[in-house]
Structure 1
Amino acid sequence: MDEQKTNCEENDSEPTDDNTTAKQLVSSDGESKVIPAADESGANAASSNTSSESVRACALCNCVERSLHGQRELRHFGPFSERPTLKPSASPLPQPGNDDLSSIGFSDSPCLTALLDDSGCWVHYWCAVWSEGVKQTEDEELENVDKAVISGTQRICAYCKRLGATIQCHAEGCSRFYHFPCSAASGSFQSMKQLVLLCLEHIDKAEELGEESWCAVCDSAGELTDLLFCTGCGLHYHAACLEIGATPIQRAGWQCPECKVCQTCQPGEDSKMLVCDACDKGYHTFCLQPAMDSLPTDPWKCRRCRVCMVCGVRGLVLPGSAQWFDNYTVCEGCQHHRSSVCCVCSKAANPSVALQCCSMCH
């Protein structure tokens, strides 16, 4: 029986930070080492090989530098002149999260000696500058980042319920804190000019900011909960005005049409840009592995957003050459099994017996 391809005429995979970019490890003696980055299924095993090494990740959101959530670059802060005396601990630093929203932050209070040592710490720029208590000097240096990291180890994010949250709702009396990616994913309002966050309960106060809360398309505040925040320019757009969704994965690290860049070459040649139908992130056709010769006519999903509804396997776990079916909801293995098993008796077909195919569910 012939197998019908759906949305997968080209086999492709994004050469992302997880599978093509080498990660730098900083050992206890200060020397940098480079190892191949593990993919999602590898669970960054390199970080647990030895307690003297740790993958360079943000001390607040626990994501690596090339994250898809718009935190900008990792910056080193410190060394700090005043630092609390921290007891040595054998507990390893939690493994850095991938770009799944479920892995942002820390499930347990992280080892402070690993997050904040004598040399300082690594924090994404946006994670730092939005944090409660962090101040920017006239020469654009950030102060009190170390205090934010320490306080974050005791603060639970109101969205993901994990530690490392340092961005507080601006409404008076509100005690909600968020990670930077979670603030967008939760649907909170963010003002880049004033570095103000308003949680969903207090989002109506965004109207007091005037044009800051207006949609760049319709020039009105409209439905505030429908606004998407661009991590590039800081403008807001109603999802309805752009005729796109407003799911948490789309909101986190969202870029408007003017700011959207390829998540692989960031930024690069502005041509042949594919936009994922699920997360709205952009990729060049020639940055995929293998590269695609042309733009597909059907909706397309990046590897991070492909999940088989039959076996649950995720796209990043499979090789880039793997084919997908039914709008990227059925992996190659499950499709092969489905096409060789009778839907009535669930038995494999005898090679000499031809299976009848339904034109609707094939």
Structure 2
Amino acid sequence: GPTLLSPQKCCICRHRGASVRCQHENCSRTFHFPCGRERGCVSQLFGEYRSFCWLHAPKQQARPVPQEHRQCTVCMEAVEERLSFNTLTCPACNTAHFHRYCVQRQARIAGQHRFHCLFCWDVENIRTEMFRLGIQIPSMDPESDEEEDCQELSQQNSSCSAGTCLCPNGRGYCGTAGPWRLLLCRSCGSRGTHRFCSTVTDSSDSWECANCVDTDSGK
């Protein structure tokens, strides 16, 4: 996952407390999560939660279908002629284009089960590509009990106790799934963390806080 380091200087704002490092080989840039998002860095909020600086962020290689007046298929406003960090395309049709902000907003509203290309209705290709490009597509399974889990965590006054919380919505935010889902310590049950903040992968629901790790190791 994105390597969470002891406080270092952010290569973007030059202030200390940078906790995300570019995962590209031979790159040592570290940055704050919000600074990276503004500068064009990409954090893949799934699987191993890898992050990349603006120079090594994944880019689209598609050749868009020529269009005279290219518009965002979400907001219908003009987009750049070339693909970039802020201008993306559907990999299935190479015809639909969208602003990063707009497709992120669409993804948050639709969730994984309803997110699709608004032009060709592709689901699998665009979802995989948007994940790769750092778009967060939340899981919204109506049959899951994750909403109840969040209510229970809220009642316990749990929050993210990671050394540096990277969640844009703060330490107390509890997502229903994905990187901002709040997990409780398996040993004491009193401290919590967002998956992303402690690099807990999607395949694991188990986490132990630093206090309990120290206790277990006899410190």
Under a length normalisation based on structure 1, what TM-score does the superposition of the two structures give?
Answer: 0.24
Q: Normalized per residue, which structure has more strand?
A: 1
Tell which structure's C-alpha radius of gyration is larger.
1
Under a length normalisation based on structure 2, what TM-score does the superposition of the two structures give?
Answer: 0.34
